[in-house]
Amino acid sequence: MKIDFKGITAEELTFKLNRVKLNGEEKLDIKPQFSRQVRKVNGNEKLNFVSLSVKIESTPEEPKPFDILATLVGIFEVEDVANQNEERKFVIEATKLVYPYLRAAVTNLTASAYIAPLNLPVISGPIFPEDRDQYAFTTGSDLN
């Protein structure tokens, strides 16, 4: 399988400041929620888009100091995909490639809002739980 990274673009970057009052020693749990979508271009099966999003949203039960939605799209040309296992491996690798850009976008978005920048964690393995078994299989490592 051959993967050619063609570029990345921001599909959505939104920030909204919330007025949250804390009681004394209370700490906020940010709990970012990640999602991913993979799309192929009609008429060009080699061209793939991997969209990676992070969402932080305040609720009455779990107030957050801000709401964020950031979605970045990586553009890839993929050749010689022999089977579904290789396609799954591509999705995992593409996600690992796009994630640092998403991390930087969130840090820059919060810094541009003149608040303490939010740094999402550095993740060396798969981000999504459903990728972990596949990742261990394709790399021979045990992440559990």
pLDDT at 139: 43
Instruction: Pick 143 or 108 by higher pLDDT.
Output: 108
pLDDT at 142: 36
Cβ atoms of 117 and 30 within 8 Å: the answer is no
pLDDT at 24: 66
2-139 to CATH, choices 3.40.50.12160, 3.20.20.140, 1.10.3720.10, 3.10.420.10: 3.10.420.10
Cβ atoms of 52 and 72 within 8 Å: the answer is yes
> What does pTM read for this prediction?
0.85
pLDDT at 144: 30
Give per-residue pLDDT as tens, 14-32.
999 998 776 767 677 888 9
Of the candidates 73, 78, 77, the one whose C-alpha atom is nearest the C-alpha of residue 99 is 73
| Mean pLDDT within 62-81 | 93
| Mean pLDDT within 98-103 | 96
Sheet strands (E) in 31-127: 33-41, 44-56, 66-79
Report the chain's mean pLDDT, rounded to a whole number.
87
The percent of residues above 90 in pLDDT, for the chain, comes to: 57
